[in-house]
Structure 1
Amino acid sequence: MKTFFTLFLLFLRIVCFSQEKYNSENYIVTLDDIKSTTFLKDSTANALVIYEQGKSHVDRNEYHLITVIKRKIKLLKREGFDNANIVIPLYITKTRYEEVESILATTYNYVNGKITKTQLEKKDIFTEAYDENHTLIKFTLPNIKEGSVITYSYKLISPFMFNYKSWNFQSEIPKLYSEYNASIPANWDYHVKLIGGKKLFKNESVIEKRCLEVSDGSYADCSNSMYVMKDIPAFIKENYMTTKSNYLARIEYELKTFQDFQGQISNYAKTWETVDKELKIDKNIGKQLSKSVDFDEILPAHIINESDPLKKATAIYQFVQNNFTWNEEFQIFKDVSIKDLLKEKSGNVSSINILLHNLLDTAGIDVKPILLSTRENGLITTIFPVISEFNYLIVQATINGTSYFLDGTDKFISFGDLPFRCLNQFGRTLDLKNGSDWIDIKPGKASTYFYKADLNFEDDQNLTGTVNTKYTGYHAIDTKKRYFSNKEAYLEDLENKSPYIEINDYEVENNILENPDFQETYTIDYDLNTNAESIYLNPFFKIFFSENPFKLQERTYPIDFGYPDNYFYMVQINLNNKYEVIEKPKEIMISLPNNTGSLRLSCSLLNNSVMLMMKVEFKESIYPPEYYPYLKEFMAKVVDTQKNSIILFKKI
């Protein structure tokens, strides 16, 4: 019987797979493409790219970059219909522009045993002005249904050989086959970057002789490359990650040099020595960094007269925080003006932090600016300079041998800390005299969330007592923002998260914004609302993690917390001889691989009191993808641990 069921299940699996005969070998739509209704490798997928191909080459006459794109998509569910809305962005300048030609789009359905085709009409293709540098071409495939197969193709013509066409192998839906062909004449030499960590199924290159010729007989050979990936999973965003552009599998090009047919070479790829020289004379960076500031006019006397360097630097930092407002602009190489900032009291990130730099420099503090890219902007290329990838500027101050990262744009950030958006692995320190260098951007210490409760059983069977919480690091920053922005809303939210607990006598220790930590104390009254002989009491009055943030079957990109993180929970419940403990949580002690994190739970009885302690520790800021299954299991255990109960029996 067991053998029979095994064979039966195997038969069902073969039948299911037989329903998925997608033609991923070419652009032709087959009957199997249309009749297949599932994608067993990812049952959550609402659409599937069956086949896609891109081909780029340089036009022999105009030297424009021509790219022909073909794509075949299966719409599995209604939620996948957005994949039938096609947007083609075109880049434009005042003198040149990209354009698109030969748009062909078709929807295939299977109706009453027959294949039907519905063509896109030209009147349903729209052009939309997006901004001064982009125009959008939009169209929607007609007559789509669950099970439809859509195909579309177009030719993109670009005069911008500086930006050779990049190719995304991965997207928000899975792909069976993705191919990109690049034909590059020897005149153009590019850095080629394969991003995302996924391996190519095929990577082939051949030389095509005399692919470009000019009237005087000069010619160039082409390097023709084919890149293929197969069975590419959908990219699914999840908690604890930076921007998805860091991880999407794709190929990108950065122009290094161009050589015309007369032999003249133009260099586009720069060295850091060249970049440093350019930044030194740049009106938005070097010129602003060298501007003198009227120290005595800007700062109050008590800051000017401070003799201790650390106290003086801290006071200058807090002065900039409290007197100048960041306008939320990230363009660090545009509209930077200390003069305008002093007048308007508002400016972009470069203006504010260059002012901070210059004030500290005038005060005799050793300071340097640091260029970086924020978490949402993406990781920086380190093998060669790509100055356009930087979108943020901070300051490094070194005092008595200790270095501090400073950012004056956020009044909630303490001296030596950075906004969370800046925690993106590394930055470039600008020393315009001695040359720039890479620097790690890491928080100085772990962030902690500490919760301690001392409770007693009163005569009315209520639990009452005092709660003390302390937040440090980024937990403190987030809590300060919520509290100081709206204290009433903060308290209301605190009570709403504990519907059976009444909160009174709320106080904040050191109730000032400049305090790096946030500490609060309050009393609670927990109505057990029972007259039963026994009580199932969950001792976790504060839940750190209500659900597991990790839900994917597999994660191919790092788990980026941004900073080491600690959670402490302690509760003491005085039973007052009213109850005895029948059952208590068992001790737990588990660790992540290589001791990079741990969970500990202990519960003991002492002098008619229950003592419970839990500690969750993440020692690393970033965990590689190989740690994902361990972290997923670890977090599941943390969530489950907070559901533990203590069983109490009423004493007679």
Structure 2
Amino acid sequence: MKPIILLVFALFFSIPILNAQDFEYGQISNDDVILKNTRLDSNANAMVIREFGTARMRLDDASGRLFVDFQYHVRLKIFNKNGFEHGTITIPLRIRKEEDDRLVDLKATTINYADGNLTRTDLDRKKFYVEKLNKYTSLTKFTMPDLKDGSIIEYSYTIQSPYIFNFRRWEFQSDIPKMHSEYIAFIPAYYNYHTSLRGALKFTTENAEINNGCLNINGVMVNCSKMSYIIKNVPAFIEEDNMTAPSNFKSSINYELSDYMLTNGTKFNVTKSWKDVDRELLADHDFGQQMKKKEVFLPLLPQILKNTTDELSKAKAIYSYIEKNIKSNGFIGYSSENTIKKANELHSGNTGDINLALMAALSAAGLDAEAVILSTRANGAVGELYPVLSDFNYVVVKVNIAGQSYLLDASEPYLPFGLLPLECINGKGRVFSLTKPSYWHDLTANQKRSTRTILTGTLSPDGKMKGTLSTYSLGYAAVDKRERISRSTSVDDFVEKLDEQMPNIKITSHKIENLDSINNMLIETYEIETQGFDVSNPDQIFYNPFFINRTSTNPFNLNERTYPVDLGSAREDRIIMNIKMPENFILADKPKDIGIALPNAAGRYMAAIALDNSTLSVSQTLQLNKPIYEPDEYLSLKEFYSRIIQSQKTDILFKTK
């Protein structure tokens, strides 16, 4: 909400203090002292005994502004040293020039029980510090004093926030279990908020009632809706790999301001239509006006396009120019920070500068280019029911050529033309054009994560193997590998680290092709040596051929997963090995050839082993054909990987003639 609206509206409001159902600070019971983690989760290193929060609006007399005051109070128990990390507290605060969140009334206490006595140690206020996460967020941090096994820690604070658009959200779930989580929100009658519930948990108690006399408006007492929510025995939210933002799936309640009304009956709609947003964004200096600045690139086009013959080659040439000429400054956003003209001159900018420059350059070349704003996977899901621009934090470009659309992000240096970062593959994006209304577009990966590995080697009677290992990477596999190599000081440094990560394999020489040719396959060739088997018992020689990219741990370990497995893209890995064995080796036993399939052709794993004319042939194929697997497919995935692990544990048995 804009400050001017807040100032005008604040003139009418006076808010008295209201007491919600908080629990008494520092009053520890015997039940708290003897509490064991077996109460909810025997694997828990810490547990919330009780937490309480409340949020309400308040008129600040000094500034004449409206604030949302959020009060938080929690008591939790540390069961062992592994739970000490929960004694380090981080409180994020928004910083926006004159609209900073303010942290007040912070207090924290550690309570220990020993020899029949309770000892209390209060946090020294000099012990907390403030760290700037980025230009939008600061972090207040402190560590609870005198932590021991069995410590009970308790702290409370109030955040005074000028952001009434997003009334304070509440997360019932965290990474440790909670015995009791309670939230009360006081919503003034003149405010309407869109309320959304996330997560799989059900409320233990949910109550709505009228709180009389919540506000005094020009001498008239106005009521509030008092919304109370309680969930008891809350399980910990366990994060696994292959997921979008945890906030999408944790049980929580979220608010966004829809409209409000003044005392004279005048109503202001905060939630706008996309038609309104289209008009505002296209007129915005940092977004729409930058999209239109074709003149920045018109003088540069003859040189950029000198070797192009058609629209697709023009688009690729412009993409290559922007990607190489404007480097990311490390900040993301869907609007420009410095104008695309300055970004091009300084060769640096945020994602908005870079990709809005890309759109302007494509448009200058007569191509049909559009801007797509989206929310990254870490930022969370975008609601499609009504426009909420604060949901979005990134912009890419959509160029339409000969009936086909290409999504482009020139801010990432190792992305080939037409491939978005996996971080951007998150639901839908909103497309903005200079000539037509905005619309939704699915953000999907048009390439899979693909690798093909070929090993050709010779195994000597002493168990040593020498050979050539070649890996061919395409799509996201190539992007990831190029990024890993770029983080090393050189290719030699990368190979040295790779050699250290594979203790059973020694790399004697290497060659990497197409490292800078991002539109081509990345090819790695290594000459390797390895000890294949133990020669102490020549009558029984055990050899495991699954030593390349072996699956040793199951990535899916939960008994139940309530959120999707989101890989971002499909995946395919193929491994082919041809190893010349000693002439006197006889194949006595080998793992059975295996073929495992997921239901509905969602994936498969195949492995086959054969010995022919003293050449051992091993082939493996792993395919995951879907970018997203729903929660009801989780147990199938878990079993799928368990069987792969078991099959790769089995050795080949050789005997000598």
Output the TM-score relative to the length of structure 2. 0.86
- Report matched runs for 1:83-482 at 5 Å: 83-89=86-92, 99=102, 105-114=108-117, 116-118=118-120, 120=122, 128=130, 130=132, 141-217=144-220, 219-293=221-295, 295=297, 297-299=299-301, 301=303, 303-304=305-306, 306-457=308-459, 462-482=464-484
Q: Is the 8 A contact 2:129 2:142 kept in 1?
A: no
Q: CA deviation at 1:591?
A: 2.2
Shift of 1:471: 1.1
User: What whole-Å deviation, never above 9, does each CA across 1:178-226 have from its counterpart, x for those lacking one?
Assistant: 1111121210111112123332222221234453333443x43322211
Residue 46 of structure 1 corresponds to: 45
Deviations along 1:290-321, one digit per CA (max 9) or x if unpaired, are: 11235563246472352222222212212222
Equivalent-residue separation in structure 1 for 2:183 and 2:250 (angstroms): 15
SS across alignment from 1:238: coil
Shifted more, 28-37 versus 396-405: the winner is 28-37
Match of residue 588, structure 2, among 582, 588, 593: 582
User: Within 2, Cα distance between the matches of 1:249 and 1:43?
Assistant: 21
Structure 2 residue identity aligned to 1:120? D
SS at match of 2:649: coil
Cα distance in 2 between the residues matched to 1:154 and 1:97: 16
Contact 1:109–1:149 (Cα < 8 Å) also in 2: yes
From the superposition, tell whether residues 147 and 451 of structure 1 become closer, same or farther in structure 2 (CA, over 3 Å): same
Is the CA contact (8 Å cut-off) linking 1:327 and 1:347 kept in structure 2?
yes
- Shift of the 583–244 alpha-carbon distance from structure 1 to 2, 3 Å rule, reads same
Secondary structure of the residue that 2:372 maps to in structure 1?
strand
Answer with 448-457 or 616-625: which moved more.
448-457
Distance 2:633 2:109 in 1: 44
Distance 1:451-1:97 versus aligned 2 partners, 3 A rule: closer
Q: Do the aligned residues in 1 keep the contact of 2:40 with 2:233 (CA within 8 Å)?
A: no
Give the aligned partner of residue 604 of structure 1: 610
- Does the 8 Å contact 1:257/1:265 carry over to 2? yes
Q: Relative to structure 1, is the Cα distance of residues 465 and 112 closer, same or farther in structure 2, using a 3 angstrom cutoff?
A: closer
Task: Say what the alpha-carbon RMSD is for the aligned residues.
Answer: 3.1
2:492 to 488, 492, 500: 488
Partner Cα separation in structure 2 for residue 41 and residue 97 of structure 1: 38
Asked if 2 retains the 8 angstrom alpha-carbon contact of 1:125 and 1:137, the reply is no
SS of residue in 2 equivalent to 1:241: coil
Task: Give CA-to-partner distance per residue, 1:228-282, whole Å, 9 cap, x none.
Answer: 1122222333322233233332212111111121212222212211111111111
- Asked whether the 8 Å contact 2:461–2:582 carries over to 1, the reply is no
**Distance between the aligned counterparts of 2:553 and 2:108, measured in 1?**
43
- Decide whether aligned partners of structure 1 residues 91 and 503 sit closer, same or farther in structure 2, where only a CA change above 3 A counts: closer
Matching residue within 75, 78, 82 for 2:81:
78
Deviation at 1:561, TM superposition (A): 1.4
Q: Which residue number in structure 2 is paired with residue 31 of structure 1?
A: 30
Instruction: Compute the displacement of 1:617 (Å).
Output: 1.2
1:94, 1:478 → 2: CA distance? Answer: 37
- The residue that corresponds to 1:638 in the other structure is 644
- Structure 1 SS opposite 2:471: strand
Question: What is the rounded CA distance, in whole Å, between the counterparts of 1:102 and 1:465 in structure 2?
Answer: 67
Instruction: Give the letter for the 2:233 counterpart.
Output: D
- Corresponding residue for 1:18? none
Per-residue deviation at 1:530? Answer: 2.9
Whole-angstrom distance in 1 between the partners of 2:131 and 2:612: 72
Q: CA deviation at 1:122?
A: 7.6
Give the residue type in structure 1 aligned to 2:29. Answer: T
Contact residue 25 and residue 177 of structure 1 kept, 8 A? no
Cα distance in 2 between the residues matched to 1:604 and 1:95: 72
Indicate if the aligned counterparts of 1:412 and 1:513 stay in contact, CA closer than 8 A.
Answer: no
Single out whichever of 131-140 and 149-158 deviates more from structure 2: 131-140
Distance 2:304 2:152 in 1: 73
TM-superposition CA deviations, 1:485-530 (whole Å, max 9, x none): 6211233244444445454564445565234311234444445473
- What residue number does 1:57 align with? 56
| Greater CA drift, 313-322 or 55-64 | 55-64
Corresponding letter in the other structure for 1:35: I
Who is 1:20 aligned against? none
Could you tell me which residue of structure 2 aligns to residue 5 of structure 1? none
Within 1, Cα distance between the matches of 2:323 and 2:58? 54
More divergent stretch after superposition (237-246 vs 285-294): 237-246
Q: CA separation of 1:556/1:414 partners in 2, compared to 1, >3 Å: closer, same or farther?
A: same
Structure 1 equivalent of residue 566 of structure 2 = 560
C-alpha distance 267-323 of structure 1, shift in aligned 2 (>3 A): same
The one-letter code sitting in structure 2 at the alignment partner of 1:49 is V
> More displaced, 32-41 or 384-393?
32-41
1:646–1:126 distance in 2 versus 1, CA, 3 Å: closer
Do 1:118 and 1:143's aligned partners in 2 also have CA atoms closer than 8 Å?
A: no
Distance 2:136 2:417 in 1: 39
SS at match of 1:377: coil
1:530 to 523, 529, 535: 535
Q: 1:170 to 1:463 in 2, by over 3 A?
A: same
- SS of aligned partner of 1:614: strand
> The residue matched to 2:480 in structure 1 has which SS?
helix
Aligned-partner SS, 1:293: helix
Kept after mapping to 1: 8 A contact 2:123/2:144: no
Answering whether residue 627 of structure 2 is matched by residue 621 of structure 1, we say yes
Q: 1:386-419 deviations in whole A, cap 9, x for unaligned?
A: 2122221111112221111111122321111122
With over 3 angstroms needed to count, the CA separation of the structure-2 counterparts of 1:60 and 1:579, relative to structure 1, is closer
Q: Which moved more, 1:590-599 or 1:25-34?
A: 25-34
Q: Distance in 2 between matches of 1:132 and 1:349?
A: 15
Taking structure 1 as reference, are residues 508 and 374 closer, same or farther at Cα in structure 2, changes over 3 Å only?
A: same
Q: Which residue of 2 aligns with 1:516?
A: 520
Residues 296, 341 of structure 2: 8 Å contact kept:
no
**Which one-letter code corresponds to 1:592 in the other structure?**
L
Kept after mapping to 2: 8 A contact 1:404/1:416: yes
Q: Do 1:597 and 1:618's aligned partners in 2 also have CA atoms closer than 8 Å?
A: yes
Q: What is the CA-CA distance between 1:363 and the residue it aligns to? A: 2.1
Q: Deviations over 1:113-151 (max 9, x none)?
A: 34x252637866867585887776666555443223233
User: For 1:320, what is the secondary structure of its paired residue?
Assistant: helix
Looking at structure 1, the residues matched to 459 and 131 of structure 2 have their Cα atoms a distance apart, in angstroms, of: 68
2:304–2:321 contact (8 Å) kept in structure 1: no
SS at match of 1:164: coil
Pick closer, same or farther for the CA change 1:345–1:579 going to 2, 3 Å: same
Q: SS at the partner of 2:112?
A: strand
Q: Letter of the aligned partner of 1:168 in structure 2?
A: E
Match of 1:650 among 633, 651, 656: 656
Distance 1:288 1:146, change over 3 A: same
Deviations 1:427-481 (A, max 9, x none): 1111243211111111113221111223344577654444332111111112233
Pick closer, same or farther for the CA change 1:215–1:496 going to 2, 3 Å: closer
**Residue identity in the other structure for 1:536:** F
233-242 vs 175-184, which deviates more?
233-242
For 1:137 and 1:314, how far apart are their aligned partners in 2? 46
Tell me if structure 1 keeps the 8 A contact 2:204–2:231. yes
Structure 2 spans left out of the alignment, 5+ residues: 1-20
